[in-house]
């Protein structure tokens, strides 16, 4: 057991208190003004006097472990650029948790991330939520899959169009998505009909791994995770989601600040993940990139998460991205929620992580100063009830 004593605790969901947190069996056992442990044995006490205690931060969109740091082709496993439709791929088979960026993540207070395939393909593969500490990826999984990655705009166009393959246009990207969702609907219907039939003469449909991977999306168990920078691409993603009655998150949302009124009309149906904002305008569809986007959307009442798109921005700088959003108009409490409970809800892992609550995973970070200031320092990181870093 671990007892965090006398910390300035920000629970995110239930306010702030000056008090203690008791950790037992990888979970938060108790949060209170004062916890008496005289009757307990083998308790490690961490004095958090003068420190700020937060839930571990969550990055809603990364490629952590898929593009290994300091390597070229040998460590690039995020895009299978041989086929624009690969929804059956899963990052669990490519993430290398031995990459030293994982250590940089938890030393920076990032305890959970969503790892997604790249955006070269129209359908890039499944997305997975993992903890940032461990040696074996199987033991780091929070939920798999949490979404299926799709991409609009320049990335799939440039990947396949230059080789005179489809898609070369935004029309082809949308048509390809519709075609494959229609095939998946037919496949699901055939599979359902076979499983419910009493007639032994009915042949089982031939197994199709790609279409099989889309069934959780069609059943609204997980969302599509849509790479969309431009406003028109955002609206195409929404249009297709509505046509097939699918859940959807809008990732990047670079031009979101230009279409606030239109996004408000959707009544929060499609969660928004903003970023990476702390970058250059490296391609035409980023020409309206602004550090004000997250604040404008949040201040309008839209629930926002932030992301680094690691390695575009190194994952440990997620708190700095939140700090820059605050500097450019986002309220501090909204910025905190954007890297804790909001991404947890969006990824469907909020029963385990995203806030400090009794019964949740003991993913806790002790900060000296504010995580949103450059002078703030992580003093201790705890993941699943284990101290994985001390300054």
DSSP line for 191-236:
HHHHHH---TTSPPPPP-HHHHHHHHHHTTSS-EEEEE-SHHHHHH
Q: For residue 199, what pLDDT is reported?
A: 64
Give the model confidence (pLDDT) of 219-250 as tens digits. 999 999 999 999 999 999 999 999 999 999 99
Residue position matching structure tokens 């009915």 = 202
Beta partners for residue 55, in sequence order: 364
Binned at pLDDT 50, 70 and 90, residue 73 comes out as confident
286 vs 162: which has the higher pLDDT = 286
Poorest-pLDDT segment among 32-41, 189-198, 312-321? 189-198
* pLDDT band, very low/low/confident/very high, at 40 (cuts 50, 70, 90): confident
Element (H, E) at 387: strand 386-390
pLDDT score, position 200 = 62
Rounded Cα distance, 244 and 242, in Å = 5
Domains 1-54+355-390 and 57-353 fall in the same CATH topology: no
**pLDDT of 71:** 83
pLDDT score recorded for residue 97: 97
CA angle 30, 334, 312 (to 5 degrees): 100
Q: How confident is the model over 20-41, as a mean pLDDT?
A: 93
- The correct answer on CATH 3.60.10.10 for the domain covering 1-54+355-390 is no
How does residue 166 score in pLDDT terms, banded at 50, 70 and 90? very high
pLDDT above 70 as % of the chain: 99
266 compared with 163, residue with greater pLDDT: 266
Determine the distance from the C-alpha atom of residue 384 to the mean position of all C-alpha atoms in its chain, rounded to a whole number.
Answer: 19
Is pLDDT above 80 for 79? yes
Tell me the percentage of the chain whose pLDDT exceeds 90.
92
From 39-43, 107-111, 239-243, the region with the lowest mean pLDDT: 39-43
Mean pLDDT of the chain: 96
Joined together, the tokens standing for residue 56 give 């571990």
- pLDDT value, residue 77: 92
DSSP alpha helices (H): ranges in the chain? 101-107, 154-161, 170-196, 209-218, 231-244, 260-264, 293-299, 318-327, 332-337, 341-347
| Domain assignments of the chain as residue spans, ordered by start | 1-54+355-390, 57-353
In this model, does residue 195 exceed pLDDT 90?
no
What Å distances lie between residue 299 and 59, 61, 66, 228, 292, CA to CA?
21, 22, 34, 21, 11
pLDDT average, residue stretch 20-47: 93
The answer, yes or no, to whether residue 2 has pLDDT greater than 80, is yes
283 — pLDDT class (breaks 50, 70, 90) = very high
Q: How confident is the model at residue 70 (pLDDT cuts 50, 70, 90)?
A: confident
Collapsing DSSP to helix, strand or coil, 80 comes out as: coil
Predicted local confidence at residue 201, as pLDDT? 67
Q: Label residue 72 by pLDDT band (50, 70, 90).
A: confident
Question: How far is C-alpha 318 from the geometric centre of its chain's CA atoms?
Answer: 12
- Confidence (pLDDT) at 203: 81
pLDDT for position 146: 98
Across 54-63, 66-75, 249-258, least confident range: 66-75
Domain 57-353, CATH number (from 3.40.718.10, 3.20.20.140, 3.40.50.300, 3.40.50.720) = 3.20.20.140
Mean pLDDT computed over 139-162: 95
Residue with the two structure tokens 């074996």: 136
Under the banding of pLDDT at 50, 70 and 90, the label for residue 280 is very high
Higher pLDDT pick, 21 / 73? 21
CA distance 125 to 56: 27
pLDDT of residue 209: 97
């Amino acid at each position: 057991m671990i007892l965090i004593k006398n910390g300035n605790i920000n629970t995110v969901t239930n306010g702030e208190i000056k008090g203690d947190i008791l950790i037992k069996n990888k979970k938060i056992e108790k949060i209170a003004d004062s916890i008496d442990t005289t009757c307990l044995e083998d308790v490690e006490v961490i004095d958090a006097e003068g420190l700020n205690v937060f839930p571990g931060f969550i990055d809603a969109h990364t490629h952590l472990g898929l593009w290994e740091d300091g390597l070229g082709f040998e460590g690039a496993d995020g895009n299978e650029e041989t086929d624009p439709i690969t929804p059956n791929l899963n990052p669990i088979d490519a993430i290398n948790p031995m990459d030293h960026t994982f250590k940089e993540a938890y030393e920076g207070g990032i305890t959970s991330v969503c790892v997604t395939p790249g955006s070269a393909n129209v359908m890039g593969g499944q997305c997975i939520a993992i903890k940032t500490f461990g040696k074996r990826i199987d033991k780091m999984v929070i939920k798999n899959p949490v979404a299926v990655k799709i991409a609009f705009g320049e990335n799939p166009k440039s990947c396949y169009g230059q080789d005179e393959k489809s898609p070369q246009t935004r029309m082809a990207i949308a048509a390809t998505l519709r075609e494959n969702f229609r095939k998946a609907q037919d496949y699901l219907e055939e599979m359902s009909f076979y499983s419910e039939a009493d007639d032994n003469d009915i042949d089982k449909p031939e197994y199709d791994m790609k279409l099989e991977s889309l069934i959780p999306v069609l059943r609204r168990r997980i969302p599509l995770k849509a790479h969309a920078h431009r406003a028109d691409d955002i609206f195409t993603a929404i249009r297709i989601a509505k046509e097939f009655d699918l859940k959807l998150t809008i990732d990047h949302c670079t031009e979101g600040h230009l279409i606030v009124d239109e996004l408000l009309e959707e009544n929060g149906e499609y969660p928004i993940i903003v970023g990476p904002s702390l970058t250059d305008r490296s391609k035409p569809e980023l020409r309206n990139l602004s550090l004000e986007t997250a604040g404008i959307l949040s201040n309008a009442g839209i629930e926002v998460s932030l992301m680094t798109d690691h390695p575009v921005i190194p994952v440990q700088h997620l708190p700095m991205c939140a700090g820059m959003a605050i500097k450019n108009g986002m309220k501090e409490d909204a910025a905190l929620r954007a890297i804790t409970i909001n991404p947890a809800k969006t990824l469907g892992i909020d029963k385990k992580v995203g806030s400090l609550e009794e019964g949740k995973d003991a993913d806790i970070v002790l900060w000296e100063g504010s995580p949103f200031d450059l002078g703030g320092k992580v003093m201790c990181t705890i993941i699943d009830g284990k101290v994985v870093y001390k300054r």
